Amino acid sequence: MKFTVECPVFESFRVAQIGGMFDVPVVRKASETFTVEMPPLDGDWRLGLIVGPSGSGKSTVARKLFGDGVYEGGDWANDAAVIDGFGEMPVKEIVRLLIAVGFSSPPGWIKPYQVLSGGERFRCDLAKALGQTTGVCVFDEFTSVVDRNVAKVCSTAIAKGIKSGKIGGKFVAVSCHYDIMEWLEPDWVLDMADGTVSRRSLRRPKIRLQIVPCGRDAWTMFARHHYLNGNLAKGVRCYLAVWAGEDGTAEPVAFCAVITLCGSVGHKRISRIVTLPDYQGIGIGSALLEGIAELHREANLRLSITASHPAILLHCTNSRQWKTTKLMKSGGGVSKKCRTSIGRCVVSFEYKGGSHAEEGRQESGETESRAGRCEASQDHRRSHGGGVTGKRGEVRRLLGGDDS
């Protein structure tokens, strides 16, 4: 594909000065010609990448290929919450999109766009772009405004959502950063450095998590990102999921607190589990959940979780490791001894493990010891077949019919 773009050059004293100082020819029109291979737009693909140095013509080529389908940033009101920035879209669909792109923090959903972090704003823009597109969503300046660790996590989240079908349509990222390629795992890449298209079979790097016991003071780092209040119950046992980098660095990315179930000896429940926003969307929370559950199973302890967050409900409902034990549309009852979920629709699950434990480790993580290492899976595939009945079916209906 070969094409030329032009723009006018407006005469002025300063334009003439620049022309004289740097020997720049001053003409009525400036033009540039691009010659690139055509990506396989009609083929069987879901993810594409246009990448190259700044000024190489990435955005120009994207607009030539996809026209007005290129998303270059949305309008967000200063006096409205992010959740209200999606027009007439149903709230369940907005939540699905936000979770799919890795923005799974309800406290952030009710804040204005302008007060969010750079990573959170980027994910909101991703969700809006995907929600506005019915065919091919083309996102310019992909990951340009976030640090490189966040860029890799965001790339993994969008790839997971697209390839799992949780995000419909096709997606093309336009970026000057080559470091996202193996994390995005695109089906094709147009490299503007030489104008060539290549089919890719990249494998995403493994994420190594270490689950370690910690003091309750670690909760202060995570509390404001949890969708319930920031208080921890007395007597909780706390754990961190630490991202072990290949360079020897260790970054705490998720937190879990476990407490004894009221009135039950040998039965524990997860009271808090949260992943930092910059690391949401790639399965870290689910891997931590499975790792903690296995630690308790190996200690001959039962473990339950009661939750209302859609991401947790989907994971546990679609996993053979977890049994749905109770569905409370109006929350739990009143108790003088224990905190309850009265007023919230919640679902309770109990970890089964047993014959399915190995399958669960392969899908959501592997735990070697109490301070062992977890391999966080990048794709939590559906782990059971057959019809949807009973409590599981009811949970899916509450979630808007999602069974993926």
Three-class SS state of 282 = coil
What is the average per-residue pLDDT within 364-389?
36
Residue 388's pLDDT band, with cuts at 50, 70 and 90, is very low
Q: How buried is 285 (Cβ within 10 angstroms: 0-12 exposed, 13-18 middle, 19+ buried)?
A: buried
Q: Give pLDDT tens digits for 230-252.
A: 689 889 999 999 998 777 788 99
Dmax (CA) of the chain = 86
Residue 401 has pLDDT above 90, yes or no: no
Strands 29-35 and 2-8: antiparallel
Q: Where in the chain is the domain with CATH 3.40.50.300?
A: 39-199
Fold for domain 39-199? Rossmann fold (3.40.50)
**Per-residue confidence (pLDDT) for residue 330, from 0 to 100:** 58
**Per-residue confidence (pLDDT) for residue 403, from 0 to 100:** 39
> In the 8-state DSSP scheme, what is residue 220?
G
Amino acid code (one letter) for 169: G
Residue 385's pLDDT band, with cuts at 50, 70 and 90, is very low
Long-range contacts from 110-117, C-beta under 8 angstroms, 24+ separation: 110/81, 110/82, 110/83, 111/81, 111/82, 112/76, 112/77, 112/78, 112/79, 112/80, 112/81, 112/82, 113/76, 113/77, 113/82, 113/85, 114/76, 114/78, 116/82, 117/277, 117/278
Neighbours of 352 (CB within 10 A): 18
Q: Where in the chain is the domain with CATH 3.40.630.30?
A: 207-398
More confident residue, 402 or 207: 207
Would the pTM of this model clear 0.85, i.e. be above it? Answer: no
Q: Give pLDDT tens digits for 294-331.
A: 999 999 999 999 998 888 998 999 899 999 999 887 55
Choose the CATH number for 207-398 among 3.40.630.30, 1.20.1280.50, 3.10.310.70, 3.90.199.10: 3.40.630.30
**Per-residue confidence (pLDDT) for residue 392, from 0 to 100:** 55
Q: Which helix (H) or strand (E) holds 59?
A: helix 58-66
Q: Give pLDDT tens digits for 45-61.
A: 999 999 999 989 999 99
- Can you tell me which residue has the tokens 């399915």? 356
Q: What angle is formed at CA 283 by the lines to CA 278 and CA 287, rounded to 5 degrees? A: 120
Taking the C-alpha atoms of residue 215 and residue 240, their distance in angstroms, rounded to an integer, is: 9
Mean pLDDT of the chain: 83
Radius of gyration of the chain from its Cα atoms, rounded to whole angstroms? 24
Residue 10 has pLDDT above 90, yes or no: yes
More confident residue, 347 or 263: 347
**Per-residue confidence (pLDDT) for residue 165, from 0 to 100:** 84
Percent of the chain topping pLDDT 70: 83
The token duo for 3 is 């094409």
